Amino acid sequence: MGTVIAITSGKGGTGKTSITGGVAAWLALMGRTVLCVDMDIGLRNLDISLGLNDRALMDFSDVALGRCPLARAAVDHPNLKGLSLLTSPMALPASLTPEKIRYMLDTARDMYDYILIDSPAGLGVGFRLATCGADRVLVVSTNDASSLRDAQRTVAELDHIRQVHLVMNRIQSKLLRRLRATIDDAMNTAGLPLVGVVPEDPQVILCANLGQPLTSRGQRGASLACRNIARRLEGQRVPIMRIR
């Protein structure tokens, strides 16, 4: 039975799509079967982060509404065995309900070890659809005050989820003197355990522009941080990355 993990942030621009793609790619390299579901309706970019630009013809609404089976709609990655993508529609169908999303995810649980959902920014209908069937949620935040506040507001909407963890993303070494207090404050205020610290890394943008998954950059920077998060999701004890 697979695990459904939603990656969300409340605020846009925190890098949750790159986190979703990086963690998914590393889980696949670890031998797991992984389905990425892009639920950022109208603003989908997960295909770019995975190096699957415009390969998907059917989207998750086609599956949820019974127009296409999941096995046909999901696009397999040509270079990463076990990694697949189910993309987002450009508009939200009025007939799409949380019940239909949960039924689709139950089907996916029987086919994959992990289902990673890239949630849209904000706390509207898209957010509720992305988290309605999740077993776990990763809340992605940067260390600026507005992002942390939005992360805390996001947590308040997730009281129905048992496992919610914090990912601090785009951390810059020049801010390390203030970083520890920022992370501690975020964890204490939001009441979230930390699952990963990801450094600011120009390789993230480079990979997206080249149409390559983040894992192609090897085990360093943001790629290494996503690998560590994947290992923690697998239950392994891994030290939090020290950013220099």
Rounded CA-CA distance 161/93 in Å is: 25
Q: Is the pLDDT of residue 237 over 70?
A: yes
Percent residues over pLDDT 90 in the chain: 59
- Interval 14-53: pLDDT, tens: 999 999 999 999 999 999 999 999 999 878 889 988 888 7
Provide the pLDDT for residue 180. 56
Statement: residue 101 has pLDDT above 90: yes
- 0.85 surpassed by pTM: yes
What is the reported pLDDT for 219? Answer: 86
Q: Could you tell me the residue ranges of all domains in the chain?
A: 3-233
Residue 239 half-sphere exposure, CB side, CA atoms within 13 Å? 3
Q: Tokens 């630009």 map to which residue?
A: 53
Alpha carbons 3 and 187: distance in angstroms, whole number: 24
What is the predicted pLDDT for the residue at 224? 94
Residue 177 pLDDT: 57
Put the strands of the sheet holding 163-171 in their side by side order.
75-76, 83-86, 34-38, 114-118, 3-8, 136-141, 163-171, 194-199
pLDDT at residue 240, as a whole number: 76
Give the list of residues 6+ apart from residue 205 with CB closer than 8 angstroms, or none. none
pLDDT bracket for residue 184 (50, 70, 90):
low
CATH 3.40.50.300 fits 3-233, yes or no: yes
